[in-house]
Amino acid sequence: MNFFKNYFNLIEKGIKSIDHSLLEHATKKIIEVSLKGNKIIIAGNGGSAAIASHVAVDFTKAAGVRAINFNEADLLTCFSNDFGYEKWVEKALEYYADPNDLVILISSSGNSKNIINGAIKAKELGLQVITLSGFDNNNPLLELGDINLWVNSKEYNIIEMTHNIWLVSIVDYIINEFKNTVV
């Protein structure tokens, strides 16, 4: 029984480790992009890719914010084969990003080369970038975002669940506070 109590306390600590003004700032950026007719692009690896898929659908369907993610097997395997795994995100952005889109990049460690390269490419393309990471608060991804959401944890599942909750809370905030503005 102590395991679950401790586990849920760790999740709660992760969720609460954010400055709420960062979530509000991220929400406003997402709404600005949507109101201009642009889209949100979300990418991650593994569990973070699953979060990207989930949140992209929620942004689109529930919040009325057009969002896509890069989780198609043919895209991942083609771009990884042709350009190398570390470059597939940057190449996907070259092919799919439009001026004034916003990119959300998720890496639990903040050290994933493909996500870091994607952030660098997004900046080169003039896109706004929101990053989500955890582990060390001086990870490379934190240097690359316009808005950086960092979880104060060293546990993958805690970090991933926190990222998911933060992103879904942004979706719900848009639904509740801006439903007549965005949709």
| CATH number where 121 lies | 3.40.50.10490
CB 40 within 8 A of CB 33: yes
Tokens 């529930």 -> residue: 62
Q: Domain count for the chain, please give it.
A: 1
pLDDT at res. 182: 55
| Domain housing 149 | 2-182
Tens of pLDDT, residue by residue over 36-84, are 999 999 999 999 999 999 999 999 999 999 999 999 999 999 999 999 9
- pLDDT, average across residues 78-107: 97
- pTM listed for this prediction: 0.95
Tens of pLDDT, residue by residue over 105-154, are 999 999 999 999 999 999 999 999 999 999 999 999 999 999 999 999 99
pLDDT at res. 180: 60
pLDDT at res. 91: 97
Is 179 a residue whose pLDDT tops 90? no
Question: End-to-end CA distance of the chain, in Å?
Answer: 44
DSSP string, the chain: -HHHHHHHHHHHHHHTTS-HHHHHHHHHHHHHHHHTT--EEEEESTHHHHHHHHHHHIIIIIT---EEE---HHHHHHHHHHH-GGGHHHHHHHHH--TT-EEEEE-SSS--HHHHHHHHHHHHTT-EEEEEE-S-TT-GGGGT-SEEEE-S-S-HHHHHHHHHHHHHHHHHHHHHHHHHHH-
Residue 27's contacts (CB-CB under 8 Å, 6 or more residues apart) are 170, 173, 174
